[in-house]
Amino acid sequence: MAEESGADAAATEALRDKYQRAPLSAALVFAPRGQRIPEWEQLAAASCVAHALMLLLHAREYGSIWRTGQLATSPGVGRFLGLRGSERLLGVLDIGTPEAGTAQRRRVPDDVSATITRFDDLARHRPDTAPQAEDG
Protein backbone atom coordinates (compact mmCIF):
# COMPACT_ATOMS: atom_id res chain seq x y z
CA MET A 1 0.00 0.00 0.00
CA ALA A 2 2.84 2.38 0.81
CA GLU A 3 4.41 1.71 -2.56
CA GLU A 4 1.09 2.45 -4.31
CA SER A 5 0.94 5.87 -2.69
CA GLY A 6 4.59 6.69 -3.43
CA ALA A 7 5.49 6.92 0.28
CA ASP A 8 9.12 7.33 1.30
CA ALA A 9 10.90 4.90 3.66
CA ALA A 10 9.89 6.77 6.84
CA ALA A 11 6.23 6.94 5.81
CA THR A 12 6.31 3.26 4.84
CA GLU A 13 7.70 2.34 8.27
CA ALA A 14 5.09 4.50 10.03
CA LEU A 15 2.34 2.78 8.04
CA ARG A 16 3.73 -0.65 8.88
CA ASP A 17 3.82 0.24 12.60
CA LYS A 18 0.27 1.56 12.48
CA TYR A 19 -1.09 -1.71 11.14
CA GLN A 20 0.91 -3.87 13.53
CA ARG A 21 -0.23 -2.24 16.79
CA ALA A 22 -3.06 -4.63 17.56
CA PRO A 23 -2.35 -8.19 18.72
CA LEU A 24 -5.07 -9.46 16.36
CA SER A 25 -6.38 -8.03 13.10
CA ALA A 26 -9.37 -9.52 11.31
CA ALA A 27 -10.02 -8.70 7.66
CA LEU A 28 -13.68 -7.78 7.08
CA VAL A 29 -14.41 -9.08 3.59
CA PHE A 30 -17.70 -8.54 1.78
CA ALA A 31 -18.52 -11.28 -0.70
CA PRO A 32 -21.88 -10.65 -2.41
CA ARG A 33 -23.75 -13.81 -3.41
CA GLY A 34 -26.43 -14.20 -6.04
CA GLN A 35 -29.07 -11.84 -7.34
CA ARG A 36 -32.02 -12.71 -5.08
CA ILE A 37 -30.99 -10.25 -2.35
CA PRO A 38 -29.87 -6.83 -3.64
CA GLU A 39 -26.17 -6.16 -3.20
CA TRP A 40 -26.81 -3.02 -1.11
CA GLU A 41 -28.81 -5.15 1.35
CA GLN A 42 -26.05 -7.76 1.52
CA LEU A 43 -23.52 -4.98 2.19
CA ALA A 44 -25.73 -3.54 4.93
CA ALA A 45 -26.03 -6.99 6.54
CA ALA A 46 -22.26 -7.57 6.36
CA SER A 47 -21.67 -4.18 8.01
CA CYS A 48 -24.15 -5.07 10.75
CA VAL A 49 -22.31 -8.35 11.38
CA ALA A 50 -19.03 -6.45 11.75
CA HIS A 51 -20.63 -4.02 14.19
CA ALA A 52 -22.23 -6.87 16.16
CA LEU A 53 -18.81 -8.50 16.40
CA MET A 54 -17.42 -5.26 17.85
CA LEU A 55 -20.25 -5.14 20.41
CA LEU A 56 -19.58 -8.75 21.37
CA LEU A 57 -15.85 -8.06 21.79
CA HIS A 58 -16.52 -5.00 23.93
CA ALA A 59 -18.97 -6.98 26.07
CA ARG A 60 -16.12 -9.48 26.68
CA GLU A 61 -13.82 -6.57 27.67
CA TYR A 62 -11.79 -6.53 24.48
CA GLY A 63 -11.21 -3.36 22.55
CA SER A 64 -11.69 -3.07 18.81
CA ILE A 65 -11.33 -0.49 16.09
CA TRP A 66 -12.77 -0.85 12.59
CA ARG A 67 -10.11 0.64 10.31
CA THR A 68 -10.99 1.66 6.76
CA GLY A 69 -9.44 4.37 4.61
CA GLN A 70 -6.72 3.60 2.07
CA LEU A 71 -6.37 0.11 3.48
CA ALA A 72 -9.86 -0.89 2.35
CA THR A 73 -9.44 0.36 -1.20
CA SER A 74 -5.85 -0.63 -1.87
CA PRO A 75 -5.49 -3.05 -4.80
CA GLY A 76 -2.24 -4.31 -3.25
CA VAL A 77 -3.97 -5.22 0.01
CA GLY A 78 -6.72 -6.94 -1.98
CA ARG A 79 -4.10 -9.02 -3.82
CA PHE A 80 -2.31 -9.81 -0.54
CA LEU A 81 -5.59 -11.08 0.96
CA GLY A 82 -6.44 -13.04 -2.18
CA LEU A 83 -9.71 -11.23 -2.85
CA ARG A 84 -11.42 -12.54 -5.97
CA GLY A 85 -14.21 -11.41 -8.24
CA SER A 86 -16.69 -9.14 -6.49
CA GLU A 87 -15.15 -9.54 -3.01
CA ARG A 88 -14.31 -6.25 -1.31
CA LEU A 89 -12.43 -5.39 1.84
CA LEU A 90 -14.67 -3.44 4.22
CA GLY A 91 -11.72 -2.75 6.49
CA VAL A 92 -9.74 -4.42 9.22
CA LEU A 93 -10.95 -4.99 12.75
CA ASP A 94 -8.06 -4.43 15.16
CA ILE A 95 -8.70 -6.40 18.35
CA GLY A 96 -6.91 -6.29 21.68
CA THR A 97 -7.23 -5.56 25.37
CA PRO A 98 -7.06 -2.01 26.67
CA GLU A 99 -3.90 -1.18 28.58
CA ALA A 100 -4.45 -1.17 32.34
CA GLY A 101 -4.66 2.30 33.79
CA THR A 102 -5.44 4.08 30.54
CA ALA A 103 -8.27 6.53 30.90
CA GLN A 104 -11.32 5.90 28.78
CA ARG A 105 -11.95 9.11 26.88
CA ARG A 106 -15.65 9.63 26.36
CA ARG A 107 -16.69 11.64 23.38
CA VAL A 108 -18.96 14.57 24.03
CA PRO A 109 -22.20 13.72 22.25
CA ASP A 110 -23.35 16.09 19.54
CA ASP A 111 -26.59 17.96 20.12
CA VAL A 112 -28.87 16.31 17.56
CA SER A 113 -32.15 17.62 18.96
CA ALA A 114 -32.68 19.87 15.92
CA THR A 115 -32.33 16.93 13.52
CA ILE A 116 -34.64 14.44 15.21
CA THR A 117 -38.27 14.29 14.18
CA ARG A 118 -40.93 12.24 15.90
CA PHE A 119 -43.55 10.51 13.76
CA ASP A 120 -46.42 12.33 15.48
CA ASP A 121 -44.65 15.63 14.70
CA LEU A 122 -44.58 14.69 11.01
CA ALA A 123 -48.31 14.07 10.87
CA ARG A 124 -49.07 17.30 12.73
CA HIS A 125 -46.92 19.48 10.46
CA ARG A 126 -47.67 18.04 7.04
CA PRO A 127 -49.45 20.68 4.95
CA ASP A 128 -51.66 18.11 3.19
CA THR A 129 -52.97 16.77 6.51
CA ALA A 130 -55.56 19.09 7.94
CA PRO A 131 -57.18 18.27 11.28
CA GLN A 132 -60.57 16.63 10.78
CA ALA A 133 -63.61 18.25 12.37
CA GLU A 134 -65.50 15.96 14.67
CA ASP A 135 -69.22 15.43 14.04
CA GLY A 136 -71.31 16.15 17.02
Q: Note whether 15 and 1 are within 8 A (CB).
A: yes
Whether the pLDDT of residue 10 is over 60: the answer is: yes
Say yes or no to pLDDT of 87 above 90: yes
pLDDT of 76 above 70: yes
pLDDT at 130 over 90: no
Residue 115 clears pLDDT 90, i.e. is over it: no
Secondary structure element (H or E) that encloses residue 88, with its range: strand 88-96
Residue 100: is its pLDDT beyond 80? no
Question: How far is 86 from 29, CA to CA, in rounded Å?
Answer: 10
Residues 6+ positions from 108 with CB-CB distance below 8 Å:
none
